[in-house]
């Protein structure tokens, strides 16, 4: 029997799991036999992966328990990151890296005839998120654990994650992501830590000893079952927890009272309606829809999470009056905002605190991040739906709103419009962003520009009311996954040249600048990129059957498909280049491979249409002999974390071309620069801060700036037709959308055409077209001088350390959470 023992050791200043090759081989063999009841040599690769995963989890268990014991004993402030989404990707590689045993494991397995990478690839991505917001949550978990911060995730264990995308006949087709089909070696079900969440019913008020009491009756109970996943810190003996909740009926038996009355259907339907709560992740990330099931999901995980935090806190601390000194709860966008009234409910109804004390504790505990300014993504719930589903919570929100509006009336006498705008409940809706701002002590944006826009525009009323609540925390990415793990060759070069201090202090990457005049280093950078491109080229051939030239510029736009991210702009310039090549087949251009990947929300017609356009353009160009393979277009299907890990290290040019002001931050921009890609970008989100870091000469900027865009929004004056009339190239490429050039059905791309022209081009694609083409020309000029290009790449790498999520998390810990952090080993 394998015993999980804590075997960390200090080796050359590194704190890693102590395991030698032979004991690893023995453990692995034993594990395999015990798990599968057969010899290793008879096992499938999938079984080999499962054995390795569960062995690694065994290695982690004792440290996990010790970390929890330590937290309970020391009473350090605990941070809980509440998020509807955690986009973790695969965990095995990360775990091996953070435990410091990747090399030993690779060698040991190879001696057993097993290729580590091959079986690592069999792990199903944990894709419980839509994009930026969910991936950010995953990076934050990694950074909190690696910085010794007691910080844990709380979310939903969706049975089906983000849908799998297939491209069939140039169109996106969605398939369910049954990620748990083969089981999940990382999670532990904690049956004894279940909570009950109550929906519907009504509230009876009463009085006991002169105090008001509220009893929730006739509700539908739902059992929230937690599944815990270890979050392993980097070589530091810390293992934090991601707790995801699954919804089950309170009893696995049918409701016998219904059943005995012959109401079989009712019993089954209760079971189904409960299980529906954690069945599937909503695949929209920009259009809010007032769906009851989503509200249920939100209350479900928030209520379970807060109840379990309070229960745990009381067990180890006891004194609820100091809850806010010991606990910080962060809400990732407005989705978990019900944490505010839920904490109030527990403090008032269960702990018997006064309103004033409960409110002080709640505000001090909760902090909120805004991730988008798109008005259509703002959550608001119809009062009737809210009240019926959550009667007691609604009463509390009403009271919060009543007290808060009283303040507003006194402050803004007679300014009814302003008060209505700022109220939590108005026009028949409960407005979640307003509740989040009022009920928290900190509101942050995710990049400097985004925070300024929140302060000065979108949330200006609130900013003037509570200026000290507002702050910026520019996003970051974990360099462990996005450099050490995904780009081992570049990591080796960095270690050889600047040592390995950058692993614990990512801003030490700056030292790499001192090596960029060394032709050897420049050469190596080129070779590494080529190697990564060749790997990706193989993947492209395997998945799309397209042969791409690894000497061409790999020009990449991978992200959710959305009008504001402007894949259309990218596509139109490819169409323009194609036109030029047809006109002049001898045109001397630097070959380019245009790579796209990304999913469209299933109900977002325009985004799906954009995917189809990209695929049709790809087919037409790739099959046109006249192009002579100078350009190729590739749309890779099913973009996810693992695919990103293959694409990003192989990229030469990173496309960050959103309409200025619309992309709150962006995070792939940071991953690309860290892997030595050059960015072509608008001055949007964190692109601005990337430019400030690398300097204007090492990034290619184009397009309208924020002031210009905001000015158009405010004063109007934009005419797409005016621009179109003056630009022959635009006339040609927009006509190509509707003349059958890319699709015999001439109406296929009419909606794109109409968005650009009839509906006056909301995202300024036409306006930025000329400046984008000129910027692309600058890219060509720069690429001609390979050495200069590589040096620019090196400068980007050297300046990327500041975008490590370690920096971001330190800012959250010190500036928002008041963590009692010890930066051990830092
Ligand atoms: C919004 C909604 C709206 C209602 C329907 C369901 C749903 C699900 C998710 C979201 C969140 C969208 C916000 C988001 O992902 N924002 C992205 O956050 C990144 C991390 O801060 C940031 O880098 C991106 O710029 C931003 O678009």
Per the domain annotation, does 687 fall within a domain?
yes
Q: What pLDDT, on the 0 to 100 scale, is given for residue 18?
A: 85
Report the alpha-carbon distance of residue 570 to residue 688 in Å, rounded.
20
Q: DSSP assignment, residue 626? A: G
Q: What is the pLDDT of residues 237-264, one digit of tens each?
A: 999 999 999 999 997 655 556 556 667 7
Per the domain annotation, does 249 fall within a domain?
yes
Q: What pLDDT, on the 0 to 100 scale, is given for residue 573?
A: 98
Domain hosting 366: range is 75-90+125-474+810-821
The residue whose CB lies within 8 Å of the most ligand 1 atoms, and thus the one to mutate among 372, 448, 450, is: 372
Q: What is the pLDDT of residues 13-68, one digit of tens each?
A: 788 888 899 999 999 999 999 999 999 999 999 999 999 999 999 999 999 999 99
For residue 390, give the H/E element and its range.
none
Q: What pLDDT, on the 0 to 100 scale, is given for residue 3?
A: 44
Report the alpha-carbon distance of residue 495 to residue 473 in Å, rounded.
29
Per the domain annotation, does 30 fall within a domain?
no
Q: What is the pLDDT of residues 421-445, one digit of tens each?
A: 999 999 999 999 999 999 999 999 9
560 in active site: yes
| Exposure on the CB side of residue 689, measured as CA atoms within 13 A | 23
Per the domain annotation, does 179 fall within a domain?
yes
Confidence bin at 275 (pLDDT 50/70/90): very high
| Exposure on the CB side of residue 81, measured as CA atoms within 13 A | 28
Q: What pLDDT, on the 0 to 100 scale, is given for residue 1?
A: 39
Average pLDDT over residues 486-507: 98
Q: Is 219 helix (H, G, I), strand (E, B) or coil?
A: coil
Q: How many structural domains are present in the chain? A: 2
Confidence bin at 374 (pLDDT 50/70/90): confident
Per the domain annotation, does 68 fall within a domain?
no
Protein residue with least CA distance to atom 16, ligand 1:
371
**484 & 384 share domain:** no
The residue whose CB lies within 8 Å of the most ligand 1 atoms, and thus the one to mutate among 285, 292, 562, is: 285
**508 & 443 share domain:** no
Domain of 395: which CATH number? 3.40.50.2000
Least confident interval from 1-10, 194-203, 349-358, 658-667: 1-10
**490 & 461 share domain:** no
CA of 371 to the centre of ligand 1 (A): 5
Confidence bin at 11 (pLDDT 50/70/90): confident
Q: What pLDDT, on the 0 to 100 scale, is given for residue 253?
A: 55
**658 & 798 share domain:** yes
Closest listed residue to residue 424, CA positions, set 441, 409, 437: 437
Per the domain annotation, does 290 fall within a domain?
yes
Q: Which residues contact 551 (CB under 8 A, 6 or more apart)?
A: 591
CA of 231 to the centre of ligand 1 (A): 23
Q: What pLDDT, on the 0 to 100 scale, is given for residue 4?
A: 46
**369 & 490 share domain:** no
371 in active site: yes
Confidence bin at 793 (pLDDT 50/70/90): very high
Residues pairing with 248 in the sheet: 223
Q: What pLDDT, on the 0 to 100 scale, is given for residue 261?
A: 65
Q: What pLDDT, on the 0 to 100 scale, is given for residue 821?
A: 58
728 in active site: no
Per the domain annotation, does 273 fall within a domain?
yes
Q: What is the pLDDT of residues 623-678, one digit of tens each?
A: 999 999 999 999 999 999 999 999 999 999 999 999 999 999 999 999 999 999 99
120 has a pLDDT exceeding 60: yes
Q: What is the pLDDT of residues 526-580, one digit of tens each?
A: 999 999 999 999 999 999 999 999 999 999 999 999 999 999 999 999 999 999 9
Q: Which residues contact 20 (CB under 8 A, 6 or more apart)?
A: 104
**470 & 497 share domain:** no
User: What per-residue string of b and e applies to 661-697 under the rule 16 or more CB within 10 Å gives b?
Assistant: bbbbbbbbbbbbbbbbbbbbbbbbbbbbbbbebbeee
**332 & 461 share domain:** yes
Q: What pLDDT, on the 0 to 100 scale, is given for residue 265?
A: 79
**230 & 137 share domain:** yes
Report the alpha-carbon distance of residue 480 to residue 87 in Å, rounded.
16
Q: What is the pLDDT of residues 36-47, one digit of tens each?
A: 999 999 999 999
Confidence bin at 2 (pLDDT 50/70/90): very low
Average pLDDT over residues 334-352: 98
Marked catalytic residue, from 102, 565, 599, 741: 565
Q: What is the pLDDT of residues 696-746, one digit of tens each?
A: 999 999 999 999 999 999 999 999 999 999 999 999 999 999 999 999 999
Q: What pLDDT, on the 0 to 100 scale, is given for residue 580?
A: 97
Q: Rg of the chain's alpha carbons, rounded to an integer?
A: 27
Q: What pLDDT, on the 0 to 100 scale, is given for residue 825?
A: 41
Helices 567-583 + 728-738 axis angle, to 10: 100
Protein residue with least CA distance to atom 5, ligand 1:
288
Q: What is the pLDDT of residues 608-621, one digit of tens each?
A: 999 999 999 999 99
Q: Percentage of the chain surpassing pLDDT 90?
A: 92
**331 & 205 share domain:** yes
**707 & 767 share domain:** yes
Give ∠ CA 65-67-71 in degrees, rounded to 5. 115
Per the domain annotation, does 3 fall within a domain?
no
Q: Which residues contact 72 (CB under 8 A, 6 or more apart)?
A: 316
Give ∠ CA 421-423-424 in degrees, rounded to 5. 125
Q: What pLDDT, on the 0 to 100 scale, is given for residue 10?
A: 80
667 in active site: yes
Q: What pLDDT, on the 0 to 100 scale, is given for residue 9?
A: 83
For residue 663, give the ligand 1 atom closest to its CA. 25
**209 & 341 share domain:** yes
**692 & 817 share domain:** no
826 has a pLDDT exceeding 50: no
Marked catalytic residue, from 559, 599, 608, 791: 559
Residues with CB under 6 A from ligand 1: 130-133, 136, 282, 284-285, 288, 333, 371-372, 377, 446, 475, 663-667, 685
């Amino acid at each position: 029997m394998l015993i999980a023992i804590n075997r960390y050791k200090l080796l050359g200043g590194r704190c890693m799991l102590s395991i030698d090759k032979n004991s690893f081989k023995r453990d692995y063999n034993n594990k395999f036999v015990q798990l599968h009841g057969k010899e290793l040599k008879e096992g499938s690769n999938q079984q080999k992966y499962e054995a390795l995963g569960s062995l690694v989890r065994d290695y982690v268990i004792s440290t996990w328990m010790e970390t929890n014991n330590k937290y309970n004993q020391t009473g350090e402030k605990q941070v809980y990151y509440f998020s509807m989404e955690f986009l973790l990707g695969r965990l095995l590689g990360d775990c091996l890296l953070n435990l410091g045993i990747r090399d030993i494991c690779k060698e040991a397995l190879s001696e057993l005839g097993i290729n580590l990478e091959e079986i690592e690839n069999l792990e199903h991505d944990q894709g419980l998120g839509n994009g930026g917001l969910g991936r950010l949550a995953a990076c934050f978990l990694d950074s909190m654990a690696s910085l010794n911060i007691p910080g844990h995730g709380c979310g939903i264990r969706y049975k089906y994650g983000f849908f799998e995308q297939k491209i069939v006949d140039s169109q996106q087709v969605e398939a369910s992501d049954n990620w748990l089909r083969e089981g999940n070696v990382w999670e532990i079900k904690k049956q004894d830590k279940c909570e009950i969440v109550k929906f519907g019913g009504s509230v009876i008020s009463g009085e006991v000893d002169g105090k008001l009491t509220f009893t929730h009756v006739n509700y539908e109970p739902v059992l929230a079952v937690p599944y815990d996943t270890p979050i392993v810190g980097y070589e530091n003996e810390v293992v934090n927890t991601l707790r995801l909740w699954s919804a089950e009926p309170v009893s696995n038996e049918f409701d016998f009272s219904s059943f005995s009355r012959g109401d079989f259907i009712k019993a089954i339907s209760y079971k189904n309606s409960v299980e529906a709560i954690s069945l599937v992740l909503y695949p929209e990330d920009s259009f809010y829809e007032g769906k009851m099931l989503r509200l249920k999901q939100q209350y479900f995980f928030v209520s379970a999470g807060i109840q379990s935090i309070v229960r745990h806190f009381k067990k180890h601390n006891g004194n609820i009056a100091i809850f806010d000194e010991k606990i910080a709860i962060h809400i990732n966008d407005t989705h978990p905002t019900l944490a505010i009234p839920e904490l109030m409910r527990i403090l008032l109804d269960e702990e018997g605190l006064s309103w004033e004390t409960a409110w002080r504790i709640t505000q001090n505990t909760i902090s909120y991040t805004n991730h988008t300014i798109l008005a259509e993504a703002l959550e608001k719930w119809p009062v009737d739906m809210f009240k019926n589903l959550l009667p007691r919570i609604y009463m509390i929100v009403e009271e919060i709103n009543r007290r808060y509006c009283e303040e507003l009336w006194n402050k803004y006498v007679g300014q009814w419009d302003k008060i209505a705008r700022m109220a939590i409940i108005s026009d028949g809706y409960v407005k979640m962003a307003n509740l989040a701002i009022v009920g928290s002590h900190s509101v942050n944006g995710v990049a400097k520009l985004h925070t300024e826009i929140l302060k000065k525009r979108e949330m200006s009323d609130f900013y003037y009311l509570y200026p000290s609540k507002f702050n910026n925390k520019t996003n970051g990415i974990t360099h462990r996954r996005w450099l050490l793990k995904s780009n081992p060759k570049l990591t080796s070069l960095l270690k050889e040249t600047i040592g390995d201090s950058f692993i614990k202090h990512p801003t030490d990457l700056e030292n790499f600048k001192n090596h960029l005049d060394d032709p050897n280093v420049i050469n190596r950078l080129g070779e590494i990129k080529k190697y990564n491109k060749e790997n990706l080229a193989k993947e492209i051939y395997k998945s799309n059957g397209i042969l791409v030239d690894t000497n061409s510029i790999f020009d990449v736009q991978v992200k959710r498909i959305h009008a504001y991210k402007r894949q259309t702009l990218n596509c139109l310039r490819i169409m323009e280049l194609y036109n030029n090549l047809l006109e002049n087949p001898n045109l001397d251009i630097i070959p380019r491979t245009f790579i796209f990947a990304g999913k469209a929300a299933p109900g977002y017609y325009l985004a799906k249409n954009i995917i189809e356009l990209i695929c049709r353009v790809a087919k037409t160009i790739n099959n046109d002999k006249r192009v002579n393979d100078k350009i190729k277009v590739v749309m890779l299907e099913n973009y996810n974390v693992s695919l990103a890990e293959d694409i990003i290290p192989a990229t030469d040019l990173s496309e960050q071309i959103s309409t200025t002001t619309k992309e709150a931050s962006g995070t792939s921009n940071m991953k690309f620069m860290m892997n030595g890609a050059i960015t072509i970008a608008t001055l949007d989100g964190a692109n601005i801060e990337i430019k400030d870091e690398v300097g204007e000469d090492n990034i290619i900027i184009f397009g309208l700036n924020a002031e210009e865009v905001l000015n158009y929004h405010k004063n109007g004056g934009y005419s797409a037709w005016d621009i179109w009339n003056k630009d022959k190239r635009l006339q040609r490429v927009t006509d190509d959308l509707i003349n059958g050039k890319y699709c015999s059905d001439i109406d296929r791309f009419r909606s794109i055409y109409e968005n650009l022209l009839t509906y006056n081009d909301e995202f300024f694609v036409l306006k930025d077209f000329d400046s984008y083409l000129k910027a692309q020309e600058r890219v060509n000029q720069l690429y001609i001088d390979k050495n200069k290009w590589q040096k620019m790449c090196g400068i980007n790498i050297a300046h990327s350390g500041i975008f490590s999520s370690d920096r971001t998390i330190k800012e959250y810990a010190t500036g928002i959470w008041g963590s009692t952090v010890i930066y051990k080993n830092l």
